[in-house]
Structure formats: structure tokens, C-alpha cells
């Protein structure tokens, strides 16, 4: 009984998605929507298959930007969060700036990057850093701050150094929080790279997206969207897998 | 022979005089209870004895040496088990040895030797979240013991357990301590727990707390879980309750 219920629960989202796609296909097919306004899911899938080598080629640079940007964002977030955690003055100074930086719309900054740094890979990486930095920094900072003070005092009473306390207590206990931020960033990172490319690039999915759009090949636009979604999910899944590997104890805790 | 003397400790925390002037003493292998209403600064007292806090006045003398405001001499167990969820029970127990500079492998071996005695045999590789509350407290006690085996501060170690588990843990604790012979300072606000476990009990008043009463517990420690039926028991219990002005 319970087993069949869990199968039904797991199947529900797929079933719902299939239903939506079927409705879409039917509306396009029998509703008289022209192909260049809105293609049906089957047509998109067909285009996706046909243009797969092209998509793959563009994906390569997008993935590169996304990974480099993500890595840079994580390193930067670590440095900033550690400084803010250890030095109260730095924390007080940077915290409002950190929040304010998030209110700047990325689409308005990205063109500036292109003016400053040209059409190469750097401005795209910067956009990814901008998108990914904040969730990681905030989640790590929150995780470090949420560590029970009694842990720290216990370790202090055992004569542990500041460094040892950080390494043995604060960082491991902050990991679950850090990973929730990492997962958010991972899901956004591909989007960041695409936005960067969208505003001007020689290749990449964002570039492919704009080109297809300007030549009214809507089915290609959708194929590119599909590719972006799949890539985002893959990056997310990799981070989630790393999480399971690094903090196996966290899943036990939630039980 | 470990000997700990607390001389005229006083402390004001955040404008509130928490500890009035407290003096107490524990000598070789004594089990000392510190009994007081909640919020009377018992934990502050332990923070001072363990060296985490500097008192406003007074000194902490251990074996003739002044340890006021210096950590690292006595071990300290909190009410919460404070086991790291990220480490196995064995690694948790071995932490104090690692902090003292022992290699991880050596520390694990040393810690593992005590697992049977502490009722944890077979659970070395488990994570703390997989253990029951009583087992977690035993693991925390083992960690405490491995840091300093001769003087241990226990701050309401069983307060978070249910009544049945607590009773079992008390009986178990007496058994283990008969083999280990530590000198113990034990904070509690449970009069029966104090009379069951301790050789001597200090009763503290409310803030700013002072020692209101010091009693020797005359009953020989029960050999089992049996209720103490000595007629002196209820008299002593009443005396303590009166000192707590309940």
C-alpha cells in the first residue's frame, strides 16, 4: 500500500509534465498556430536532435564559462565569508554592501562588462561570478554564524586553537548550509553564462539563442532552452552528488 | 591526589551580580554535587573553574597551582552532548586526544579501548544521530574522561534524558566511576539525583548565588538501583529543600 503510494507520488510530476506537453502539442497541431510562432514539443525535440552537434559546440563554451565562473565565485565567497566570520568589523562593513550588490540588476551591468572587457570569455565569467557569489557567501556565512556557541566553548575548554576550532567544528557544521547555497548557485550558473553571451559573444548557447531568435527559428530557440535546462540540471546534480559524498551524515540527521 | 579549591569566586555578568562569593573544595575521588535553582549561575561557576571565564575576584587552585582563567586542566561536560554530527562516535571520543597532539590513528586506538566500559562497544562507526540519547551522553562522557580523567566537571549531564533513562544512567555512572576513580563536580537541580550520586553536596542560593548549605551524604552508595530507605534520607532531603526555600 505504502509502496504503491510512493510510486504514485514519484510519478505525479512526470505525469503532470506529460499532460502539459500533450496539451501543448494538441493546441499547436489542431489550433492552427503557425510553426514560426510556436512549434509543438515534438517539433522542438526533432530540431533538438537535428541541431545536436551545433548545440554541443555552443554548449562547450557555455559550460566552460559557467564552470570557471562558478569556481571563481565559490573561492571568492569563501574568502569573503571567512573574513566576515572571523573579523566582526569586516562583517559589519561588508554585510550591507553585499546585500546592496544583489539589488543591482545583472542585465544592466553585463553590457558594461562587455564595454570594459570586450567580447571574450572574461565578461561572461564575471556575470556568472556575480550571479553565483551571493548565495554561496550568504549560506556559508549563515552556516558559520549558526554554529552553537557551546560547541566552540567546549573545544576552547579542551585547549583547541582558533584554527582547530574552525577546522574541526565550524566548517563541518556549516557544510549543510553551504551546500544549499551551492545548489542554488549551481542551478543559476548556466543562466548567468547565457545572459553574458546573450549580450554579445562569438559562440555559446546565449549567442545561438539570439541568432535563432533574429532569424525567427523559434523551434531552435526552444531547442536551445531545452539544452540550457538540461545543462543546469546536470550542474545541479553534480553539486548534489558531491554533497552526498562529503556530508553523508546530514541525510541521517534529517531522518 | 587531585585536589581542587575554589576560593571566593565572584562574577558579575552583564551588570547582574551572578556569583556572590563562592568557595568550595573537592579532594581525591570525591563526588561533589552542586545544587541550586536554575539561573543561579551554576554554569558560570563551571565556566570559571574550567578557565573559560575570568572571575572578578577569587582563585581556582588545582593541586596547589593557580589555574584561574586558564583552560586545559579539567574536563567539562555540558548538558547537551555536543557530539559533532560530522564525525563517527569513535572520532568524537578521540577528539581530546587529537587536540593534545596524538596522531589520529593512535587516538582512535586509545579511545576504542574504553568503548566496552562505556557501553558503546559495536557503535564505533556510527554517527551520533544514529544513537539514543543515553548512548550519546555516554559517548560525551567518554570524550570528557579522555580529556582529563582525574577532575571532571559535569553540568547537568542527564537533564535532557527521560526519567527512566536518567535513572539507568545514574546507576551506570556510579558503576563506571567506581572503576575510574575521578574527582567529580556535578551540577544538578534534582535533589534526589544529588543525594543518590554525591558524597557531599553544596546548595547554592539564587542570584547573586552563595553557598547556603553544605551537607555530607552519609548513606553508603546503594549497591543497586534500590530506593534509599534510610530514615535520615527524608530528613536530609527536607533540609536541602528548605535551603533552596521551596
Chain B contact set for A153 (CB, 8 A): 47, 52
Q: Which of A154, A160, A252 sits opposite B129 (nearest CB)?
A: A252
Give me the pLDDT at residue B225, please. 58
Q: What integer pLDDT is reported at residue B153 of this predicted model? A: 92
Q: Is the pTM of this model over 0.90?
A: no
ipTM, 2 decimals? 0.83
Best CA proximity match to A114, nearest among A126, A103, A104, A101: A126
Chain B touched by A246 (CB under 8 Å)? no
Residue-wise pLDDT tens digits, B130-153? 998 889 999 999 999 998 878 999
What is the percentage of chain B residues whose pLDDT exceeds 70?
96
Query: Do B155 and B46 meet the contact criterion of CB atoms below 8 Å apart?
Result: yes
Q: Extract long-range pairs of B39-43: CB within 8 Å, 24+ residues apart.
A: B39/B206, B39/B207, B40/B204, B40/B205, B40/B206, B40/B207, B40/B209, B41/B11, B41/B13, B41/B204, B41/B207, B41/B208, B41/B209, B42/B155, B42/B187, B42/B204, B42/B209, B43/B155, B43/B187
Query: Could you tell me what percentage of chain A is helix, strand and coil, using 3-state DSSP and rounding each to the nearest 5?
Result: 85, 0, 15
Q: Do B82 and A148 touch (CB under 8 A)?
A: yes
Reported as a single tens digit per residue, the pLDDT across A92-129 is 999 898 888 888 888 888 889 888 988 889 999 999 99
Chain B residue nearest residue A165, CA to CA: B99
How do beta strands B75-77 and B31-35 pair? unpaired
pLDDT at A1: 46
Contacts of B99 in chain A (CB under 8 A): 155, 158-160, 164
Q: Nearest to residue B83, comparing CAs of B99, B100, B101, B95? A: B95
Residue of A157, A173, A249 with shortest CB distance to B127: A249
Q: Where residue B29 falls among pLDDT bands split at 50, 70, 90?
A: confident
Could A153 and B72 be called an inter-chain contact, meaning their C-beta atoms sit closer than 8 Å? no
A157 closest CB neighbour out of B76, B84, B127: B76
- Indicate yes or no: CB of B86 within 8 angstroms of CB of A157: no
CA distance A243 to chain B (A): 13
pLDDT, chain B, mean: 86
Task: Judge: A173–B86 Cβ closer than 8 Å, yes or no.
Answer: yes
**pLDDT value of position A221:** 92
Is it true that domain A38-254 has CATH number 1.10.3720.10? yes
| Burial per residue of A22-31, b for 16 or more beta-carbon CB atoms within 10 angstroms, e otherwise | eebbeebeee
| pLDDT above 50 for B121 | yes
Interface test with B, best of A146, A147, A151, A158 (most B CBs within 10 A): A158
pLDDT(B78) > 70: yes
Percentage with pLDDT > 90 across chain B? 22
In DSSP terms, A221 is beta-bridged to: none
* CA pair distance B75, B42, nearest whole angstrom: 16
C-alpha grid cell, residue B107:
587516538
Mean pLDDT of B80-90: 91
Q: What is the pLDDT of residue A199?
A: 83
- pLDDT at residue B220 greater than cutoff 70: no
Residue B24's DSSP bridge partners are B6
- Tens of pLDDT, residue by residue, chain A (255 residues): 455 567 777 888 889 999 999 999 998 888 888 888 889 899 999 999 999 999 999 999 999 999 999 999 999 999 999 999 989 899 999 989 888 888 888 888 888 988 898 888 999 999 999 999 999 999 999 999 999 999 998 998 888 888 899 999 999 999 999 999 999 999 999 999 999 998 888 889 999 999 998 988 899 999 999 999 999 999 999 999 999 998 888 776 654
Residue B66: in which H helix or E strand, if any?
Answer: strand B65-66
Taking the CA atoms of residue B49, residue B52, residue B57 and residue B61 in that order, the dihedral angle to the nearest 10 degrees is 40
Q: Does A174 touch chain B (CB under 8 A)?
A: no
Nearest CA-CA distance, residue B118 and chain A, Å: 21
Measured between beta carbons, which residues in chain B are less than 8 angstroms from residue A255? Answer: 129
Domains of chain B: 1-74+150-246 (3.40.50.300), 81-147 (no CATH)
Cβ distance of A150 and B99 shorter than 8 Å: no
**pLDDT given at position B222:** 57
In 3-state terms, what secondary structure has residue A47? Answer: helix
Amino acid at each position: 500500500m505504502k509502496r504503491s503510494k510512493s510510486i504514485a507520488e514519484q510519478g505525479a510530476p512526470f505525469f503532470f509534465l506529460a499532460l502539459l506537453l500533450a496539451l501543448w502539442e494538441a493546441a499547436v497541431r489542431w489550433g492552427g498556430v503557425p510553426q514560426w510562432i510556436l512549434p509543438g514539443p515534438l517539433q522542438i525535440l526533432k530540431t533538438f536532435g537535428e541541431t545536436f552537434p551545433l548545440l554541443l559546440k555552443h554548449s562547450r563554451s557555455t559550460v566552460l564559462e559557467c564552470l570557471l565562473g562558478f569556481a571563481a565565485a565559490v573561492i571568492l565567497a569563501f574568502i569573503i565569508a571567512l573574513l566576515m566570520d572571523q573579523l566582526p568589523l569586516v562583517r559589519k562593513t561588508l554585510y550591507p554592501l553585499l546585500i546592496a550588490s544583489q539589488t543591482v540588476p545583472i542585465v544592466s551591468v553585463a553590457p558594461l562588462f562587455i564595454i570594459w572587457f570586450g567580447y571574450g570569455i572574461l565578461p561572461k565569467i564575471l556575470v556568472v561570478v556575480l550571479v553565483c557569489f551571493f548565495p554561496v557567501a550568504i549560506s556559508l556565512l549563515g552556516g558559520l554564524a549558526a554554529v552553537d556557541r557551546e560547541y566552540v566553548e567546549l573545544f576552547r575548554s579542551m585547549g583547541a586553537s582558533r584554527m582547530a576550532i574552525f577546522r574541526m567544528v565550524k566548517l563541518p557544521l556549516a557544510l549543510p548550509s553551504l551546500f544549499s547555497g551551492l545548489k542554488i548557485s549551481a542551478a543559476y550558473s548556466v543562466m548567468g553564462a547565457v545572459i553574458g553571451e546573450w549580450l554579445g559573444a562569438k559562440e555559446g548557447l546565449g549567442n545561438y539563442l539570439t541568432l535563432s531568435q533574429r532569424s525567427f527559428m523559434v523551434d531552435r530557440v526552444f531547442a536551445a532552452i531545452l539544452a540550457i535546462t538540461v545543462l543546469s540540471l546536470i550542474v545541479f546534480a553534480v553539486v548534489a552528488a558531491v554533497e552526498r559524498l562529503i556530508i553523508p551524515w546530514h541525510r541521517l540527521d534529517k531522518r | 591526589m587531585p585536589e581542587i579549591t575554589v576560593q571566593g569566586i565572584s562574577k558579575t555578568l552583564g551588570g547582574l551580580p551572578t556569583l556572590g562569593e563562592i568557595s568550595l573544595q573537592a579532594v581525591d575521588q570525591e563526588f561533589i554535587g552542586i545544587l541550586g535553582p536554575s539561573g543561579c549561575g551554576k554554569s558560570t561557576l563551571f565556566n570559571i573553574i574550567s578557565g573559560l571565564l575570568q572571575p572578578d575576584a577569587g582563585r581556582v587552585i588545582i593541586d596547589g597551582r593557580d589555574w584561574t582563567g586558564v583552560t586545559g586542566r579539567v574536563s567539562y561536560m555540558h548538558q547537551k552532548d555536543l557530539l559533532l554530527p560530522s564525525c563517527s562516535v569513535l572520532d568524537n571520543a578521540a577528539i581530546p586526544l587529537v587536540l593534545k597532539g596524538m596522531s589520529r590513528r593512535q587516538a582512535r586506538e586509545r579511545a576504542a579501548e574504553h568503548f566496552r566500559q562505556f557501553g558503546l562497544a559495536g557503535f564505533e562507526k556510527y554517527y551520533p544521530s544514529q544513537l539514543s540519547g543515553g548512548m550519546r551522553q555516554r559517548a560525551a562522557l567518554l570524550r570528557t574522561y579522555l580529556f582529563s580523567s582525574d577532575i571532571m566537571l559535569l553540568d547537568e549531564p542527564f537533564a535532557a534524558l527521560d526519567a527512566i533513562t536518567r535513572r539507568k544512567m545514574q546507576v551506570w555512572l556510579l558503576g563506571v566511576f567506581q572503576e575510574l576513580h575521578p574527582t567529580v563536580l556535578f551540577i544538578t537541580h534534582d535533589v534526589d539525583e544529588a543525594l543518590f550520586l554525591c558524597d557531599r553536596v553544596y546548595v547554592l542560593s539564587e542570584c547573586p548565588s552563595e553557598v547556603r548549605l553544605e551537607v555530607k551524604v552519609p548513606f553508603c552508595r546503594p549497591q543497586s538501583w534500590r530506593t534509599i530507605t534510610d530514615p535520615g534520607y527524608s530528613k536530609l532531603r527536607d533540609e536541602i529543600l528548605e535551603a533552596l526555600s521551596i
